[in-house]
Amino acid sequence: MEKINGTDIQEVVRRKTIAQHYVHSKLDRKALIMQLAEEAAELSQACLKYIRALDGTNPCAEQDPEVYMDSIIEEYSDVSNAAEVAWIHLDYEIIASKAERWADRLKALEERKGANNE
């Protein structure tokens, strides 16, 4: 996949917006959500293959985990696109809350491990 530079980003966003609006106008909500679900399942599979390649305990077609990281990036992009077409947008307050809870759980785990080592 080709990386884009700062001068090209506006053109990429313009193309994406035109295509997404067209798709949104042609498909009903059910079809859009079904596409999102399919893309999410493919992202899950790409993540699992990456972990298998990383562990090396259950061989994959490719043993280089970075091959699967490229797949994760592509599938995550597919999920993002499908969500945007369905007009499902990120809620940064929810993301912040989830990030804080995750960090709190990791801190608690570290504290428990520290208490067990004393």
CA distance 64 to 54: 8
Can you give the pLDDT at residue 66? Answer: 86
Residue type at 62 in one-letter notation: E
CA distance 88 to 109: 34
The mean pLDDT values, 10 residues at a time, for the chain of 118 residues are 74 96 98 98 95 82 84 97 97 98 97 83
CA distance 80 to 65: 22
